[in-house]
Amino acid sequence: MTVRVRFAPSPTGHLHIGGARTAIYNWAFARHHGGAFVLRIDDTDLERSTDENTAAILRSLRWLGLDWDEGPEAGGDFGPYYQTQRTGTYEPALERMKANGHAYPCFCTAETLETKREASRAEGGFSGYDRTCRNLDPSTVAARIAAGEPHVWRVAVPDDRGDIVIDDLVRGETRFPIDAMDDFILVRTDGSATYNFATVVDDWTMAMTHIIRGDDHLSNTPRQVVVYEALGAEVPTFAHMSMIFGADGKRLSKRHGATSVEAYAEEGFLPEAVLNYLALLGWSLDGETTLFDRETLVREFDLSRVSKSPAVWDPEKLEWMNGSYIREMSTDKFVDTMTPWLERAGFATAADVAARRDWFLSLAPLISERVKRFDEVADKVAFLFEEPTIEDSVRVKILEKDGAARALEAAAEVLATVEFHAEEIEAALRTVPEATGVKPKDAFQAIRVAATGTTVSPPLFESLELLGKERTLARMAAALELVTT
RNA sequence: GGCCCGUUCGUCUAGCGGUUAGGACACCGCCCUCUCAAGGCGGAGAUCACGGGUUCGAAUCCCGUACGGGCUACCA
């Protein structure tokens, strides 16, 4: 049988880091086994679900490079792929369970249930439904329904079934005592399906073979198994992965900073880095390999190597990884990726980049090994696009230092006569320390501050080349004026 | 309360009865060097949550405890 897995986000918000990881594992599992990765939008929470959120989720999945075989905008033979459009399938499923005697109507009101629950919980022990309506006389049941009395439909958990054992692909064999199982509600008074009923019917009718999800659903699994069995459906294989925590050991939330995939995209993270990091957070290839591409992930992914324990989200490691991917990018790709960030900063348009592509290509390697995210690029290249302002403290510390002015004058002089290429610039400037008696470090720092306005910049000679002779000399003259007046 | 899951350096993890407990991020030092990075080399960092077993031998198997998490809704 061919593998079919699904990712079923609820469009009540953007794609969350945790959801993204679940999607990645499902996707990798499907691709590894040559199966189908299905996307279903569980939008039954009408209050909070929005089309904007759905669109954002699709965008984020695509950004990560997770393509789905069936689902919104892809179609498929098992649709519809929006849960709100599948309500028609719950009714026949319920009929099927009724026919088997696996579902029964319950007329108990929410209030009486509440008081009963409190009472039994006070005594300690099982707090589930006491099955009052399970053994109602069939004729009275028929009469009450005919009279239009409000009721829900409950599952009749079999007494003779024995414990429910789940062979979880991540956690191994997990046993749930059957007598702790509640005759939970399948269909509400208003006729709508509850989560545990709806997902089972959806997953069953969509022919899912494996359910890979967060372990917050582990405790729901035995309930769902009961429904599968009552339906006469084949029970899929389950795999429950642990959650992602923040540094404080609490479930990851907004308090811990950016939690949506979109936010990481906007901060200048690369999709391949986010994918790699997320894949590694809770899964290991061999314990040694930390950097791997999409193809390797697909080839090597194995649920048995998914961690059972929760993982703490570590933004620093993600940044390191992103930096690593940036450094490995081709110069061309770096320029392309950098362009929108330059546009956003108002430094250059895509047309500017195209017009002077060679110049940007020589800029790229200077920047790529100095940033961990693309939102740092603008700051690093600013000196090339706008006139620097030298801070007082820097002026005092560097430009007014003994010999600095002398070095600047000498530098300006030699630079004026030279071809403006890094090698020539370097050769010329190397003569300055000896000629002036100023230490190389001090001389170069003075020139750096004059040219870039700061003490930290990309390599000096290359930076000057990019700046060009005219601007370099003008800035040096301006710096000299600053300290000599 | 009941049921279920988890616990190896600060963090992510390897380990699946015999290892000097390995790797990665972060941290520290050295090298490189015009600053910052990047890179190279090295270092520190884990009584494997705790307590009992089983075994010649346990991070690895079993039981218990503690702590953390989940479920226990006419939420998903």
User: What stretch(es) of chain A map to CATH 1.10.10.350?
Assistant: 392-484
| Range A329-384 classified under CATH 1.10.8 | yes
Q: Catalogue the active-site residues of A.
A: 254
Verify if strand B has an atom below 7 Å from the CB of A311: yes
Report CA(A289)–C1'(B41) in Å, whole number: 21
Residues 6-45 of A with CB under 7 A from strand B: 10, 42, 44-45
Say yes or no to pLDDT of A250 above 90. Answer: no
Q: Is the CB of residue A157 less than 8 Å from the CB of residue A182?
A: yes
Q: A474, exposed or middle or buried, with CB in 10 Å at 0-12, 13-18, 19+? A: middle
User: What stretch(es) of chain A map to CATH 3.40.50.620?
Assistant: 4-74+245-312, 87-241
- Quick one: which residue's CA is nearest to B34's C1'? A444
Verify if strand B has an atom below 7 Å from the CB of A175: yes
Q: What pLDDT is stored for residue A88 in this prediction?
A: 93
Say yes or no to pLDDT of A45 above 70. Answer: yes
Say yes or no to pLDDT of A103 above 90. Answer: yes
Verify if strand B has an atom below 7 Å from the CB of A246: no
Report CA(A238)–C1'(B53) in Å, whole number: 33
Verify if strand B has an atom below 7 Å from the CB of A254: no
Q: What is the mean pLDDT of residues A49-66?
A: 96
Verify if strand B has an atom below 7 Å from the CB of A316: yes
Q: What pLDDT is stored for residue A252 in this prediction?
A: 81
Q: What pLDDT is stored for residue A125 in this prediction?
A: 67
CATH topology of domain A392-484: Arc Repressor Mutant, subunit A (1.10.10)
Report CA(A193)–C1'(B28) in Å, whole number: 59
β strands within A274-328, DSSP E: 311-312
State the distance between the two ends of chain A, measured CA to CA, in whole angstroms: 84
Say yes or no to pLDDT of A268 above 70. Answer: yes
The structural architecture, per CATH, of the domain A87-241 is 3-Layer(aba) Sandwich (3.40)
Q: What pLDDT is stored for residue A485 in this prediction?
A: 64
Residue A181 amino acid letter = M
Residues 76-105 of A with CB under 7 A from strand B: 83
pLDDT averaged over every residue in chain A: 94
Report CA(A216)–C1'(B66) in Å, whole number: 23
What predicted TM-score, i.e. pTM, was given to this entire model?
0.94
Q: What pLDDT is stored for residue A112 in this prediction?
A: 85
Based on C-alpha coordinates, what's the Rg of chain A? 32
pLDDT tens sequence across A213-231: 999 999 999 999 999 999 9
Report CA(A79)–C1'(B28) in Å, whole number: 58
Verify if strand B has an atom below 7 Å from the CB of A445: yes
pLDDT tens sequence across A382-429: 999 999 999 989 888 988 888 899 999 999 999 999 999 999 999 999
CA separation for the pair A385, A352 (Å, rounded): 12
Say yes or no to pLDDT of A379 above 80. Answer: yes
User: What stretch(es) of chain A map to CATH 1.10.8?
Assistant: 329-384
Q: Is the CB of residue A187 less than 8 Å from the CB of residue A90?
A: yes
CA separation for the pair A397, A402 (Å, rounded): 10
Q: What pLDDT is stored for residue A110 in this prediction?
A: 86
Longest Cα–Cα distance in chain A? 111
Residue A36 amino acid letter = A
Q: Is the CB of residue A24 less than 8 Å from the CB of residue A279?
A: yes
Verify if strand B has an atom below 7 Å from the CB of A112: no
Q: What pLDDT is stored for residue A170 in this prediction?
A: 96
- Closest to A409 measured CA to CA, from A442, A391, A432: A432
Cis peptide before A440 (omega within 30 of 0): no
Q: Which nucleotide is nearest to A43 (CA to C1')?
A: B76
Verify if strand B has an atom below 7 Å from the CB of A219: yes
Q: What percent of chain A has pLDDT over 70?
A: 99
CATH topology of domain A4-74+245-312: Rossmann fold (3.40.50)
Segment holding A324, helix H or strand E: helix A315-328
Q: Is the CB of residue A361 less than 8 Å from the CB of residue A354?
A: no
pLDDT tens sequence across A420-460: 999 999 999 999 999 999 999 999 999 999 999 999 999 99
Q: In sequence order, what DSSP letters do the residues of A96-136 get, joined into one string? A: HHHHHT-EEEE---HHHHHHHHHHHHHH-S--S---GGGG-
Q: Is the CB of residue A194 less than 8 Å from the CB of residue A187?
A: yes
